[in-house]
Amino acid sequence: MQQISDKTTEQQNLSSKDIDQMSTREVLVTINKEDKTVPYAVEKAIPQIEEFVDAVVASMKKGGRLFYVGAGTSGRLGVLDASEIPPTFSAPNTLVQGIMCGGLSALVTAVEGAEDDYAAGYAVVNERGITKNDCLLGITTSGSADYVHAALKRAKEIGATTGLLVCNTFEKNLHIDVMIQAVVGPEIVTGSTRMKAGTATKLILNMITTTAMIKLNKTYGNLMVDLMTTNKKLWDRGARIIRHCTGTDYDTSMEILKKSGGSVKTALVVALLGIEPDAARKRLEAHEGALREVLEEEGKSLRL
């Protein structure tokens, strides 16, 4: 295995070697200039991201789930992305799950040495009940975290689909189905992978889950129609989506939304087809949640 010191994210960045002598503005400009290179590194990995997303969608259609497993910044970003899926796309909390090396306490306090615990990584797959219908994405900037590789190995033994997201070049091995490499190069502060590598990781995780949710009929166009109203802000957003898509005034939109139990997608069917919420839900279930199909069946469409 390549030595960690040989990884590009561990190399010295020549553009920032005198950063301690720069003015505040110069430091900020230097960081920003380096950050601009991250999307290009992610772009090169799109074919592999696509392959993994397609596997995730196929898995979820069979009742499977997506698990992220990572250490440090990588693990925290996985937990963050997973936690945002339920409120954004009205998905169950179990659909996308983040596994943090060192446990949940490691989200706020570093647990030294946890990423080297191979046995714990192997065991966590059994503890979380991962099955052959699930997908597991390991996230490790350097590709060297033993905890992550152990989890991938055990998941592969079970028959789950496995992927590895790294920000360096890394040789694919037998327990990895899909290798995603976003090679971002040396960091502004040598080895500080919470910076460019962290940005690349967040971009890719957002791409994976957002694309998967779109493919699972969680949007209509680019509108968040599978939104569930869990607070004042989301009730307001839901009513505004209904108003925008149907031309109904705000108060009527809110009334329909309340009648539909806070489900924007159900409310839109109610508003456009003039049916009761129970009937609307049955129509959506018959089309696997595809709002566009339900409406087109009746010659209707939403304003975008």
- Summarize pLDDT for 189-243 with one digit per residue, the tens: 887 788 999 999 999 999 999 999 999 999 999 988 887 788 899 899 999 999 9
All structural domains of the chain with their residue ranges: 4-215, 232-297
Q: Contact, 131 vs 101, CB < 8 A?
A: no
Given this model, what pLDDT does residue 6 score? 65
Strand partners, 205: none
Strand partners, 135: 66, 161
Tens digits of residue pLDDT in 129-149: 999 999 999 999 888 889 999
Domain 232-297 in this protein, CATH class: mainly alpha
Q: Is the pLDDT higher at 303 or at 38? A: 38
In angstroms, rounded to a whole number, what is the distance separating the alpha carbons of residues 158 and 151?
11
Residue 3 binned pLDDT confidence (cut-offs 50, 70, 90)? low
pLDDT of 10 above 80: no
Given this model, what pLDDT does residue 1 score? 46
| Mean pLDDT calculated for residue range 11-30 | 87
Strands (DSSP E) contained in the chain are 66-70, 96-100, 135-139, 161-166, 178-181
Q: Which of 10, 84, 276, 293 is catalytic?
A: 84
Nearest Cα neighbor of 181 from 17, 62, 45, 13 is 45
Given this model, what pLDDT does residue 303 score? 87
The sign one gets for the Cα dihedral 111, 112, 113, 115 is positive
Q: Which amino acid is at 75?
A: G
Buried/exposed 182-192: b ≥16 CB within 10 Å, e otherwise: bbbbbbbeebe
Give, in order, the Cα–Cα distances in Å from 216 to each of 79, 96, 163, 256, 289.
21, 13, 20, 24, 8
> Is 115 part of the annotated catalytic residue set?
yes
Tens digits of residue pLDDT in 246-302: 999 999 999 999 999 999 999 999 999 999 999 999 999 999 999 999 999 999 999
Q: Is the pLDDT higher at 269 or at 19? A: 269
In angstroms, rounded to a whole number, what is the distance separating the alpha carbons of residues 280 and 294?
9
> What pTM, to 2 d.p., does this model score?
0.89
The CA-CA-CA angle for residues 77, 44, 35, to 5°, reads 55
The CA-CA-CA angle for residues 91, 181, 173, to 5°, reads 95
> Is 43 part of the annotated catalytic residue set?
no
Given this model, what pLDDT does residue 4 score? 55
Within 8 A by CB and 6+ apart from 31, the residues are 188, 195
Residue 107 binned pLDDT confidence (cut-offs 50, 70, 90)? confident
Tens digits of residue pLDDT in 36-81: 999 999 999 999 999 999 999 999 999 999 999 998 889 999 999 9
The CA-CA-CA angle for residues 106, 52, 173, to 5°, reads 75
Given this model, what pLDDT does residue 218 score? 93
Count CB-CB contacts under 10 A for residue 111: 16
In angstroms, rounded to a whole number, what is the distance separating the alpha carbons of residues 133 and 143?
25
In angstroms, rounded to a whole number, what is the distance separating the alpha carbons of residues 12 and 270?
59
Question: From its phi and psi, is residue 159 left (phi > 0), alpha (psi between -120 and 50) or beta?
Answer: left
Q: Which CATH number fits domain 4-215: 3.40.50.10490, 3.30.460.10, 3.30.450.70, 3.40.718.10?
A: 3.40.50.10490
